[in-house]
Amino acid sequence: MGFRSVYWMNKRISDYYSEKKFLDVLCLPEERIAWDEARSKAPLIPRGWYELSLLSREDRLEFTKEYWMTHLPFVPNPFKSLQTFFQDLEDVGVFLLLQENSYIPELVYFLNDDRFFIGSVPAGEEEIEGLKMNISLPKDFLEFLRIHNGFSKAYDRGILSTSEILQTKYELEIYLEESEKKVHFDKNLIEPTSLIPFYMSSYGRSYQCFIKEWYPTNEMGNVCLSLDDFTISSFKREGTLAFPTFLDWLVFYLEEIEIEEDLR
């Protein structure tokens, strides 16, 4: 597989896609293909993404930032941090990745410190409504799914899509119920059914979960579940991996930070 000449593609993303062993990787607008051809190759590509790829770098960054800000519910502190994230962006690129007979579209966020994030296509209204019929989720998380139905930093498993949340919740509940160890917080046991995973680490040993026992705002807060010691992060103590809103967690995820065990 040979990569095209893309002036903003850094070596990390090139290595990343090479390791994934896609049959082909196209980056727009370097390929200069028409909309009909792009849609034929990648039926799931949003028209907005194609049009985004035709803009200048400065306009791509500004348009993407405004898209996030207008879709997410306004919360002062997270929004201030999101502004910083977009200030650190070097570029936003649309990629088409060939698997078997069709291409999968992805939106890649390049930061000026060589990090990158990958977003899947937005969730459709039917996907959102289908999820809401089966499970209650915070509004800010549902709105984020309308931006990216799956999102991760380099090599991470990342935020789960609408099609993965219920299945992951079910599998996690079975695992926790059948295990000899029980999930605990301080000296209190946590029912597996009270945890709703929305993020999975790369090795599947930790999850960020909405938890039904904690409503710091009008919505569920979220905590980190560790399968190494069957504990969740403390939502009674500051400086842990417990967050009052999804947006607070998302800002943390977008930062360049190493998650230490004692943060839980």
Asked if 225 and 195 count as a contact pair (C-beta separation under 8 A), the reply is yes
Which pairing describes strands 116-119 and 151-153: parallel, antiparallel, or unpaired?
antiparallel
Which pairing describes strands 188-189 and 195-200: parallel, antiparallel, or unpaired?
unpaired
- Cα–Cα distance for residue pair 228/50, rounded to 1 Å: 43
pLDDT at 225: 94
Kindly report the pTM of this predicted structure. Answer: 0.90
Q: What burial class does residue 27 get, using C-beta atoms within 10 Å of its C-beta: 0-12 exposed, 13-18 middle, 19+ buried?
A: buried
Closest CA to 210 of 175, 246, 234, 183: 246
CA distances 72 to 98, 142, 146, Å, are 31, 9, 9
Query: Domain ranges in the chain?
Result: 11-121, 162-263
**What six digits make up the tokens of 6?**
């893309």
**What six digits make up the tokens of 128?**
């959102």
pLDDT at 260: 42
Of 3 and 109, more confident: 109
pLDDT per residue as tens digits for the range 164-208: 999 999 999 999 999 988 898 777 888 999 999 999 998 778 999
Asked if 84 and 111 count as a contact pair (C-beta separation under 8 A), the reply is no
From its phi and psi, is residue 239 left (phi > 0), alpha (psi between -120 and 50) or beta?
Answer: left
Residue 217 pLDDT exceeds 50: yes
The strand ranges marked E within 86-204 are 89-99, 102-111, 116-119, 151-153, 158-159, 184-185, 188-189, 195-200
The dihedrals phi and psi of 140, each to the nearest 5 degrees, come to -65, -35
Q: Give bridge partners of residue 104 from the DSSP assignment.
A: 97
Closest CA to 25 of 103, 125, 108: 103
Of all residues in the chain, what percent carry a pLDDT higher than 70?
91
**Number of other residues whose CB lies within 10 A of the CB of residue 106:** 21
Terminal Cα distance for the chain, rounded? 42
pLDDT at 256: 67
Mean pLDDT (whole number) for 85-113:
91
